[in-house]
Amino acid sequence: NIKIETVTPNRLKIYFDVNKTQKEETKNDSIGKLRVQWLHGAVAKNLKATVNVSFIQTETHFNGYSQFVFDSPLRTYYGESSTIFDASLANNGEAVIRSAFPDCQTAPGMLRANFVSRVFEEGGDFSIDRFQMPYSPYRHYVGLRTPESKNYNHSIETGKTHVFEIASLNALGKAVDLNQVQLKVYKLQWRWWYENDHEDISDYISRNGTLVITDTMLQTKNGKINFGFRIQDENYGRYLVTVTD
């Protein structure tokens, strides 16, 4: 016997208007609005609908800061799909979605939100719509620009002072001043050419052999600040520099 799956085309047009303030640093009591119509234009009133959202991590980029790294190497985000709406549409075929997004405070930086909306007809068939958008789980971002180097693996030379640049931005990529930016420099006590480079770097800094050689607070002005870093010849090795708000 051959099983044949019947694919029913969408008979409903689904509009999901996301509240733009969700992309900014201001908070709002609604995520957005769901609007549904039949394909022939009539209002799809009182139908049951669900909206699920899931997040995946993506690289954080801002215009004018392409040489800065804004993603934390110490964090990894594994998000699951969450239901943010499960109810019936109003008589006008609309519904305001007020559920909060899941907590994403373990994200290394910006995320991509994937929305899946389903609207069910009275007979049981449903129409589906998918779309995605960038999502910022944080109000501010702190980026680090390392000195340029032509050496192997972009390593910097010992015995010289190297200048690192820090940039502080809001979620829209505009410079902001931050009064408490924590700078930490770790020396990782391992020989990178012998170790498995797929191991999570956060596991390394939790080891007893990892040294914190710098731990200080900085203030950015006009969204920027620099700091100098010098390694003596006898202290060569692999270092991790983090800046956090």
Q: What is the pLDDT of residue 163?
A: 94
**pTM score > 0.85 for this model?**
no
pLDDT in tens, 77-113: 888 899 999 999 999 999 999 877 888 888 999 999 9
pLDDT class of 24 with cuts at 50, 70, 90: very low
Provide the pLDDT for residue 225. 96
Encode the chain in three state secondary structure: CCCCCCCCCCCEEEEEEECHHHHCCCCCCCCEEEEEEECCCCECCCCEEEEEEEEEECCCCCCCCCCCECCCCCCCCCCCCEEEEEEECCCCCEEEECCCCCCCCCCCCCEEEEEEEEEECCCCCEEEEEEEEEECCCCEEEEEECCCCCCHHHCCCCCCEEEEEEEEEECCCCECCCCCEEEEEEEECCCCCCCCCCCCHHHHHCCCCCEEEEEEEECCECCEEEEEEECCHHHCCEEEEEEEC
